[in-house]
Structure 1
């Protein structure tokens, strides 16, 4: 059984009859979110700009309470996003849940950041959230229900050395999601943010020393040289930890929660 699939029979059916669109679903947190939604009965449209990961995800989810349909989509292309969202609404008679997970990380000190690094980071992490949320919100407000969850980062709320572009893009996506949520709250649509800390994904492992397979001690204990606190709970998150928070905010259990930012970082930001 693939790592992003796990048995969730106790929650089966929680999202039965609902349609969800998940961006960045080819791996990591996005794959975990898509699989968890399908396990609970949702019809999930899993999108990524690379077909391989979402095709594998759809195949591995066969037999779930819900379904996963892969769709290649680049969140930086507004026409492509609008086409996919319109297709989901047409094929499934609506869109109930949007989860913005697609993101990239270009880490470097500001003096070494290129114009392309900055532009590419914002194109995916911020403008991509704008494209998908705008398209989804227009349908959700028309029908008077729905929810949008943006997966940002705890770096959006605390300075990080070498991560200025990433942190700034996630901070922008966070505030955009809250502003959108304020604008459309009276239409019955909720918008919230999940802010993960260090999570065991390909993006996180790319920050480790080359060839490192275990979590570097500094990730858990902190690193005074980079002004980084440790993780009080003593471990990094799994993608499932983040998916659980996303699913709570997307569920009826959170039906009176909007404009909120939920940190899932083991206490790393001391918030």
Structure 2
């Protein structure tokens, strides 16, 4: 069974950096064409022409062939519908959609503002709804397609200071499973990937030390004062680890997998 994604068209949100950028790189490496989106276009546009991302390095994104870069605010349902219509009119039918766009605004519940709660759900949950609903309608009519939502292991275990984030990701997981149940008979698969601590800007923003090595070590060892277990595998994930899981789930190798939540956290949540 082929692991390749030759010629398939994928939409990826949150594609500018971190896990989203790694997902774009991995899908392209396996032969997919990718529409990479973020709140600001992941690469500059010149005279209205779609440009591509350099997804091979870690520096600034530059123009390359192979990836179409577009700005997209996933909280705007009309913008999502318009973009998907444009993509399918100009590039062809979408085979894959990957919801990566997400925000984290840490705070203890008693200090959490209404604004931060609403903003967290607007991106992490409602954004997933907007994108998934739009592409699922089209995929179901065609009788095939794969949707993957990147959630978090925080959706399955309580975290101090992360109630809004954890709740929004838990909602996204259950939404994706319910969608998967509804469209299964149409040949569309819907799954989630739930990372643990991953070396991204979001992860680094939680660290209180400028020494990355010592900060990472504290994550790996865990913190009893915040009831947080360590990482049994003894390492923090690289974004590529998460991207590989996404690529598997959208490939034909996972053709009989739907409504599944794949934890990629080095065993941090001690799930059986």
User: With structure 1 as the length reference, what TM-score do the two structures score?
Assistant: 0.91
Separation (CA, whole Å) in 1 of partners of 2:171 and 2:65: 33
- 2:114 is matched with which residue? 115
Separation (CA, whole Å) in 2 of partners of 1:257 and 1:59: 30
SS at match of 1:169: helix
Separation (CA, whole Å) in 2 of partners of 1:50 and 1:160: 30
SS at match of 1:214: helix
- 1:227 is matched with which residue? 227
Separation (CA, whole Å) in 2 of partners of 1:48 and 1:135: 17
- 2:202 is matched with which residue? 203
- 1:177 is matched with which residue? 176
Cα deviation code 1:101-131 (max 9, x no counterpart):
0000000100110000000000000000000
- 1:58 is matched with which residue? 52
Separation (CA, whole Å) in 2 of partners of 1:270 and 1:81: 37
- 1:4 is matched with which residue? none
Q: 2:195, 2:265 within 8 Å by CA — same for their partners in 1?
A: yes
Q: 1:97, 1:148 within 8 Å by CA — same for their partners in 2?
A: yes
Separation (CA, whole Å) in 1 of partners of 2:97 and 2:184: 15
- 1:267 is matched with which residue? 267
- 1:192 is matched with which residue? 191
| 1:39-188 matched pairs, under 5 angstroms | 39-51=29-41, 53-55=42-44, 58-61=52-55, 67-188=66-187
| Count of residue pairs brought into register by the alignment | 257
Separation (CA, whole Å) in 2 of partners of 1:215 and 1:39: 33
> Structure with the greater relative contact order (CA < 8 A, sep ≥ 6): 1 or 2?
2
Give the gaps of 5 or more residues in structure 2.
Answer: 46-50, 57-63
Q: 2:22, 2:55 within 8 Å by CA — same for their partners in 1?
A: no
1:21 pairs with 2:32 = no
* Residue 67 of structure 1, CA deviation: 1.6
1:34 pairs with 2:24 = yes
SS at match of 1:199: coil
Mean Cα displacement is larger for which, 98-107 or 13-22? 13-22
* Residue 61 of structure 1, CA deviation: 4.5
Q: 1:199, 1:237 within 8 Å by CA — same for their partners in 2?
A: yes
* Residue 58 of structure 1, CA deviation: 2.8
SS at match of 1:60: coil
Separation (CA, whole Å) in 1 of partners of 2:125 and 2:25: 24
* Residue 89 of structure 1, CA deviation: 1.4
Separation (CA, whole Å) in 1 of partners of 2:155 and 2:73: 23
Please tell me the root mean square deviation across aligned C-alpha atoms, in Å: 1.8
Per the alignment, do residues 231 and 67 of structure 1 end up closer, same or farther by CA in structure 2, a change over 3 Å counting? same
Q: 2:40, 2:70 within 8 Å by CA — same for their partners in 1?
A: no
* Residue 66 of structure 1, CA deviation: 7.8
- 1:240 is matched with which residue? 240
Q: 1:25, 1:54 within 8 Å by CA — same for their partners in 2?
A: no
Per the alignment, do residues 80 and 263 of structure 1 end up closer, same or farther by CA in structure 2, a change over 3 Å counting? same
Cα deviation code 1:20-59 (max 9, x no counterpart):
00000000000000111111111100000122x4459934
Q: 2:104, 2:165 within 8 Å by CA — same for their partners in 1?
A: yes
Q: 2:6, 2:30 within 8 Å by CA — same for their partners in 1?
A: yes
Runs of 4+ in 1 over 6 A off after TM superposition: none
SS at match of 1:247: helix
Separation (CA, whole Å) in 2 of partners of 1:267 and 1:204: 17
Give the gaps of 5 or more residues in structure 1.
Answer: 1-10
